[in-house]
Amino acid sequence: MKGRSHASRSNSPLRRAGGDESRNHRRTISGGQRSRDQSSRRERESRRREGEGRQISSRNGEGAPYVLGRDVCGEITDLGDEVSSFLMGDEVFAFLSPGHGGYEEFTVAKSSEVAMKPKSLDPITAAAVPLAGITAWQGLFELGNLSTGQRVLIHGGAGGVGHFAIQFAKAKGAWVATTVSAADKDFAKQLGADQVVDYRNERFEDMVEPVDVVFDLVGGETQERSFSVVKSGGALISTLSEPDAERAKKQNIRAGRYTAQPNGAQLQEIATLIDQGKVKVVIDRIYDLHQAAEAHQALKEPQVRGKIVLRVLG
């Protein structure tokens, strides 16, 4: 699919679609994926953006330039011969696979990565959803197996992934506790959290009764301490470091780290929740594409709440 896009830092336009590939791509750098509680992860990502650490490898025999951005929203302007689920002019959003970026006017996406944009959102707001939303969805439901009536503790509930995770869990009928900074306690309550812990001044293990799932968006010592609040038979799922496998085995806990994968069907479920008014999207700020460097710098700030978005087309 070809398409104009808006990228999320999240926000970029989609303009294309093709093959079994929809060239509707927008890439997003999810400010939302980094909560205020995630300083260590933010520092690692910052070093990568500045050229330190792991290098970007060539793809399909091609090297630099490499276009950044993983989530996008825009309009389909071209379709591959085998694409039947979308039409020219459809407003869609997507979490892109590596290889195509969203920091550009046109991008390419596989049709399996694309979903119809929530009708209740404008393109810029919709562009803030895919990567962070899919990360939260897969962590809670695919890996955590969170179900109605269960209890979940979400570390880093004020960030891009975290603020979706709280709302998804509540929409599922789960009881939700979260750790955030003192400044974000009211925000977390507004999202629906049943119990909110100030991670700087309170110890969650002294306050939260055992839970079925811990969804870890912080890592480090917070992850290690989380073992003490997971029920036997429960799960500790992280987007950062791999939890201690031996300790998990001894406590009869499922534990693991994962990387979210594009999934258009799951994204469509998220769109439905948004249109039903069960999930709201929080954007911290919006930058124009030529301010991409500024947007990346903003991700280093400890007070980012929700997502940062790039506006590709005015």
267 in any annotated domain? no
276 in any annotated domain? no
Q: Are residues 57 and 25 in the same domain?
A: yes
Evaluate if pTM is beyond 0.75. yes
**Residue ending a domain, choose from 257, 272, 298:** 257
Share of the chain above pLDDT 90, in %: 65
Which CA distances in Å does 38 have to 7, 21, 83, 120, 271? 22, 34, 40, 30, 27
Q: Are residues 94 and 166 in the same domain?
A: no
Q: Are residues 82 and 61 in the same domain?
A: yes
CATH of the domain at 101: 3.90.180.10
Among 46-55, 69-78, 168-177, 278-287, the range with the most confident prediction by mean pLDDT is 168-177
pLDDT top residue among 11 and 237: 237
Which CA distances in Å does 60 have to 131, 150, 305? 23, 44, 36
CA–CA dist 225, 192 (Å, integer): 24
CATH of the domain at 180: 3.40.50.720
pLDDT top residue among 123 and 9: 123
Q: What is the pLDDT of residues 230-274, one digit of tens each?
A: 999 999 999 999 999 999 999 999 999 999 999 999 999 999 999
61 in any annotated domain? yes
CA–CA dist 73, 82 (Å, integer): 21
Give residue 208's pLDDT band: very low, low, confident or very high (50, 70, 90): very high
Where in the sequence is the domain holding 11, given as residue range(s)?
2-130+281-311
> For residue 168, what pLDDT is reported?
98
38 in any annotated domain? yes
Q: Are residues 46 and 107 in the same domain?
A: yes
Domain count, the chain: 2
Q: Are residues 220 and 288 in the same domain?
A: no
> For residue 84, what pLDDT is reported?
92
Q: Are residues 142 and 232 in the same domain?
A: yes
204 in any annotated domain? yes
Which CA distances in Å does 215 have to 138, 151, 180, 242, 260? 11, 11, 13, 12, 14
Q: Are residues 160 and 226 in the same domain?
A: yes
Q: Are residues 187 and 235 in the same domain?
A: yes
Q: Are residues 136 and 237 in the same domain?
A: yes
CA–CA dist 166, 152 (Å, integer): 9
270 in any annotated domain? no
CA–CA dist 69, 31 (Å, integer): 11
Q: Are residues 94 and 146 in the same domain?
A: no
Q: Are residues 125 and 140 in the same domain?
A: no
Find out whether 231 and 212 touch, Cβ atoms under 8 Å.
Answer: yes
Q: Are residues 124 and 136 in the same domain?
A: no
Residue 87 has pLDDT above 60, yes or no: yes
